[in-house]
Amino acid sequence: MRSLPLPLALTARLSPVVVLAAAGWSLTSGPFAPTSAAEHEPTQKTPTSSSSAPSSTAESKSYASAPAPCASVAATTVKSLVPGAKTAGKEIPSTDTKVRRTCSWNALKGYDYRWLDVSFEITDSDEAAQKAYKERVTEKSGGGDVPGLGDTAYSIVNLTTEDKQQTREGEVIVRASNALVVITYNGSDFESKKAPGTDEINKGAIKAAKDAVAALEGGQKG
């Protein structure tokens, strides 16, 4: 097998603990920094229901802590999304595991590279989570709602190119009560220099998000 030099940004991405710690828990970017040639590929939008009336209480809070992130995605899901990765995953150190926890899986199998991040963030109230969710979705315009996932969910897929190598990344942001669940899933093919299809990445990210939300909702509530 011929040896393929990896782009500098991807070489750094293959060291998840160093890169993610330096990024200060920011999981919203892929292995390559966004370029001016980034291509936004929106998913189909579905109206989100907003019929619920505001709570009469000052604050409401369902989840007191984040679940174990590396156990939140089924082993079968990890195997299908990140071929060759250890299903146990790698949890990223956190200053407060009750508030924020993240797990990463990545693998290079042959010429195909895949990366998956799952992150949980527990806020003080439903209202705080709603605000944080709105801010993140606003920053990532061009995506679409994902019906039937948490209280509200949003997905977006982007394509970036560096040194003629494409990478496609999908992100799903979910709010469930006072918790936020963020999934990042991306991939590249180093032989063809092409990226996986939009549908593959989007469906993969949503699949992981469904597992993670089920793990959150199945845990103990505060």
Q: Is residue 35 part of a domain?
A: yes
36: how many CB neighbours lie within 10 A of its CB? Answer: 4
| Buried b / exposed e along 136-158 (16+ C-beta atoms within 10 A) | bbeeeeebbbbeebbbbbbbbbb
115: how many CB neighbours lie within 10 A of its CB? Answer: 25
105-109, 153-157, 218-222: range with lowest mean pLDDT: 218-222
Number of domains in the chain: 1
Q: Is residue 15 part of a domain?
A: no
Q: Is residue 13 part of a domain?
A: no
pLDDT tens-digit series, residues 92-125: 999 898 899 999 999 999 999 999 999 999 999 9
First-to-last C-alpha distance (Å) of the chain: 53
pLDDT tens-digit series, residues 33-51: 444 334 445 444 444 444 4
Q: Is residue 200 part of a domain?
A: yes
Q: Is residue 33 part of a domain?
A: yes
Q: Is residue 167 part of a domain?
A: yes
Q: Is residue 24 part of a domain?
A: no
Structural domain harbouring 83: 29-45+60-218
What element of type H or E holds 40? strand 39-41
pTM comes to 0.73
84: how many CB neighbours lie within 10 A of its CB? Answer: 14
In this structure, what CATH number is given to the domain that contains residue 191?
3.40.1000
